[in-house]
Structures are given as structure tokens and as C-alpha cells.
Amino acid sequence: MITASEFRNGATFELDNQIFQVVEFQHVKPGKGAAFVRTKLRNIITGSTVERTFNPNDKMPKAHIERKDMQYLYNDGDLYYFMDVETYEQLPISKSTIGDAFKFVKENMTVKILSHKGNVFGIEPPTFVELEITHTEPGFKGDTATGANKPATLETGAIVKVPLFVNQGDIIRIDTRTGEYLERA
């Protein structure tokens, strides 16, 4: 069991036969009245977010989320195939289940498959990935005083903002949690 006073970002629990993950939380102690916990929760199955307040003593059962390392192989239309690196068993996952984080994953990359009681609900790419820039406009000399950025298309098809000195063919490091450029590799 987990109490509302123990909420942290990323904590998962069951509520009303649904599985929720804490996105944001705030412990509030008003000048008058009882304390409460204001939260923003994401339903891990549907992806929807809700805002809810809890009494700090409210108890909910913890949800055990399984994270398994699997290697991305290929996609076949709407299905994406992943291989268990220990048993070599292949698992097809639909495009709607994968989510937005997949835009930084390329073939043969190892990702974590997230599931609850055997039901796959998403993937977690590595925190940092190195990808090649396939297209970007050239930067102009002397245009760097403002710290300007330009769009760049990566080998996976994702578009990120990069500094003007980064060119087509460069390999860059990306933070997959925020989708931001970190450095050239």
C-alpha cells in the first residue's frame, strides 16, 4: 500500500480499477483546515491525465509495473516487433500502444517494455540516444549571438531543435525524456 503523503513523481498505484502514475504532486497545508495532496495523474492504460486531490492518509494499493529489456527489430505496417534478448521470443506491439517516446528509437536498439499483469501499455527508450541528422538547413555565420536554434530531422524521422553550428550528417545526443539536443557525439 502507498499513502498519498508518500507520492513521488513516477509512483504507480491502483485507483477505481485503473492504474495511475503520478506526473506532478504538491503537498498543501492551508492556514485553516486540513492538509491535502494535489496531484496530476496519468492513466497508464489510456494515456489520459486527470487532476485530483487526496487526503494525506488515503491508502491505495501499489501497482507493480514490469520493465523488460527487449530489442526493437522492425515494423510491419501498424505492428512493431520486439525481441526478448534472453529467450529470442518476438513480441508484436501495435502503434497505438507504443506512444510518442518511440520517435527516438531505431532498429536494433534495446528498450524497456512496460507491462502490468501481462498487459503491455508502453515502451521506455534509453534516456540518452545518439542519432544522425539526415536533414537540416545550413547555419549562417555571425548568427550565433542570440543562441538561435534550427529544426533538424533525425534518422528516425523525429524533428528536434539544434544549434546553428550542427550540420547534416552529424551524430548528436538527445535526451528522450524531453526531446532536447544535448551535444554532438
Are 99 and 113 in contact, with CB atoms under 8 Å apart? no
Q: Among 60, 93, 110, where does a domain finish?
A: 60
* CATH value at residue 95: 2.40.50.140
Q: How confident is the model at residue 141 (pLDDT cuts 50, 70, 90)?
A: low
DSSP bridge pairs for 41: 22, 50
Q: How confident is the model at residue 83 (pLDDT cuts 50, 70, 90)?
A: very high
Are 135 and 152 in contact, with CB atoms under 8 Å apart? yes
Would strands 66-76 and 110-116 be described as parallel, antiparallel, or unpaired? antiparallel
What domain count does the chain have? 3
**Do residue 151 and residue 178 come from a single domain?**
yes
Alpha-carbon distance of 28 to 51, in angstroms, equals 14
Alpha-carbon distance of 16 to 93, in angstroms, equals 26
**Do residue 55 and residue 70 come from a single domain?**
no
**Do residue 142 and residue 157 come from a single domain?**
yes
DSSP code at position 62: B
pLDDT at 124: 84
pLDDT at 140: 65
Q: Any idea which of 25-39, 95-109, 148-162 has the lowest mean pLDDT?
A: 95-109
| pTM exceeds 0.75 | no
**Do residue 78 and residue 28 come from a single domain?**
no
**Do residue 36 and residue 73 come from a single domain?**
no
**Do residue 150 and residue 100 come from a single domain?**
no
pLDDT tens digit sequence for 44-79: 877 788 999 999 888 989 888 888 999 999 988 888
In sequence order, the 6+-apart residues with CB closer than 8 A to the CB of 3 are 56, 57, 58, 59
Q: What is the mean pLDDT of the chain?
A: 86
Q: How much is the CA Rg of the chain, to the nearest whole Å? A: 21
Instruction: Please count the CA atoms within 13 angstroms of the CA of 123 that sit on its side-chain side.
Output: 28
**Do residue 104 and residue 70 come from a single domain?**
yes
Q: Among 92, 107, 124, where does a domain finish?
A: 124
pLDDT at 72: 92
The CA-based angle 21-129-133, given to 5 degrees, is 125
**Do residue 11 and residue 55 come from a single domain?**
yes
pLDDT at 146: 65
**Do residue 80 and residue 119 come from a single domain?**
yes
Percent of the chain with pLDDT over 70: 95
**Do residue 37 and residue 53 come from a single domain?**
yes
Whether residue 144 has pLDDT greater than 60: no
pLDDT at 143: 56
Which pairs with CB-CB distance under 8 Å and at least 24 residues apart come from 92-98?
93/120, 93/123, 97/121, 97/122, 98/122, 98/123
pLDDT tens digit sequence for 10-51: 788 888 888 888 888 899 888 888 899 999 998 887 778 899
**Do residue 115 and residue 141 come from a single domain?**
no
pLDDT tens digit sequence for 107-124: 899 999 888 888 887 788
Domain containing 93 equals 66-124
**Do residue 44 and residue 76 come from a single domain?**
no
Q: Among 80, 102, 124, where does a domain finish?
A: 124
* CATH value at residue 52: 2.30.30.30
